[in-house]
């Protein structure tokens, strides 16, 4: 009875930490928690509903960044860990981890067998959903996590051979040194932090590319659809984006207009236009931005907000990438040309 009282008190403390008892975790029938995570007193069958929820409960002192969920509920977490045991409980997310420190000797078991590795900076580690892990670090480490709700990921890749249980086979047996995967990880992190209105669409597209790379690592193949969009499909998508140039639009929204899966739509759109949907959306915003800068008296901040950017800084960053100059310089040059 005394032991039960201690466990109950500990659980109460954890629930209190989540402001009002939000249900961040629940009991999972038949699930046995790994012995080394969380508090030894909490040797219970706990199941967390996200990687964020688990890390907030088990390793909150290590978290240095938590970004709000974006496309598909994807969350970006950053942690600064000491040497020791950072094993994870099972969560429903596919968790892609990028190492930020120089080579860290570690013992890992991501659900496909234990292995020993010296994990270099920018190496990727992938944990399948609903899988407890063993993570023993020999030295302090800094990491970024991309936690993707797997059911949401399945919904945009529907019908294209995504593993139903999220098991990417060989991808879980070692750390992955894949430059393309690392670049996509970094790009999505930048979009999550930037607050760009086209960010959700970009992130969805990048996640599908990451899935294709994971399938290659798993030694399976993801069937790629062929062919572009029909003229009526392309026209409908273009009209939709033109009418909502100041609003966030997801790939799922656009795919629904064409009657295709998100995965098929993204491939078909690029086959038809030569660019990804988010790039098309950005080009529409930049067209509108140039018009407003040269023909209106709106301030830079007003133009940024009218285009759906959350600040003048995020707008200026996107404008510089597209045109190689700032909105202010562009406006000054255009006004100078008009007075000649």
Instruction: Assign 97 a pLDDT band (cuts: 50, 70, 90).
Output: very high
pLDDT of residue 170: 82
**What is the C-alpha R_g of the chain?**
23
Kindly provide the b/e burial profile for residues 26-57, where b requires at least 16 CB atoms within 10 angstroms of the residue's own CB. eeeeeeebbeebbeeebeeebbbbbbbbbbbb
Per-residue confidence at 340, pLDDT binned at 50, 70, 90?
A: very low
User: Is residue 186 over pLDDT 80?
Assistant: yes
Cα gap 68→80, rounded to integer Å: 19
Tens digit of pLDDT for each residue in 268-322?
Answer: 888 888 888 888 888 888 888 998 998 889 999 999 999 888 888 888 988 988 8
pLDDT confidence band for 79 (50 / 70 / 90) = very high
Q: Which domains does the chain have, with CATH numbers?
A: 2-217 (2.60.120.10), 231-339 (1.10.10.60)
| Stated pTM of the model | 0.61
The residue with greater pLDDT, 39 or 68, is 68
Name residues whose C-beta falls within 8 Å of residue 75's C-beta, 6 or more positions apart in sequence. Answer: 50, 51, 52, 66, 67, 68, 69, 93, 145, 146, 147
């Amino acid at each position: 009875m005394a032991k039960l009282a201690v466990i109950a008190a500990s659980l109460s403390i954890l629930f209190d930490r989540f402001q009002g008892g939000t249900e961040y975790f629940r009991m999972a029938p038949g699930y046995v928690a790994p012995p080394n995570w969380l508090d030894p007193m909490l040797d219970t069958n706990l199941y967390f509903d996200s990687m964020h929820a688990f890390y907030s409960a088990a390793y909150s002192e290590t978290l240095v960044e938590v970004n709000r969920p974006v496309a598909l509920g994807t969350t970006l977490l950053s942690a600064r860990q000491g040497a020791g045991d950072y094993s994870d409980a099972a969560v429903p997310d596919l968790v892609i981890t990028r190492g930020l420190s120089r080579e860290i000797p570690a013992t890992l078991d991501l659900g496909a067998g234990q292995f020993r590795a010296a994990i270099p900076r920018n190496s990727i580690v992938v944990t399948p959903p609903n899988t407890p892990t063993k993570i023993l670090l020999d030295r302090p480490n800094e990491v970024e996590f991309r936690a993707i709700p797997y059911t949401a990921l399945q919904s945009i890749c529907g019908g294209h051979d995504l593993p139903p249980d999220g098991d990417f086979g060989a991808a879980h047996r070692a750390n992955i040194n894949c430059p393309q995967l690392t670049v996509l990880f970094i790009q999505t992190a930048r979009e999550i932090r930037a607050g760009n209105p086209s960010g959700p669409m970009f992130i969805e597209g990048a996640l599908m590319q990451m899935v294709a790379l994971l399938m290659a690592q798993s030694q399976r193949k993801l069937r790629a659809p062929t062919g572009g969009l029909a003229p009526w499909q392309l026209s409908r998508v273009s009209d939709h984006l033109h009418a909502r140039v100041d609003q966030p639009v997801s790939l799922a929204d656009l795919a629904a207009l064409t009657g295709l899966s998100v995965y098929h739509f993204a491939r078909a759109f690029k086959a038809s236009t030569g660019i990804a949907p988010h790039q098309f959306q950005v080009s529409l915003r930049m067209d509108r931005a140039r018009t407003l800068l040269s023909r209106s008296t709106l301030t830079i901040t007003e133009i940024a907000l009218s285009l759906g950017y959350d600040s003048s800084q995020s707008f200026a960053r996107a404008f510089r990438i597209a045109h190689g100059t700032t909105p202010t310089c562009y406006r000054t040059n255009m006004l100078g040309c008009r007075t000649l």
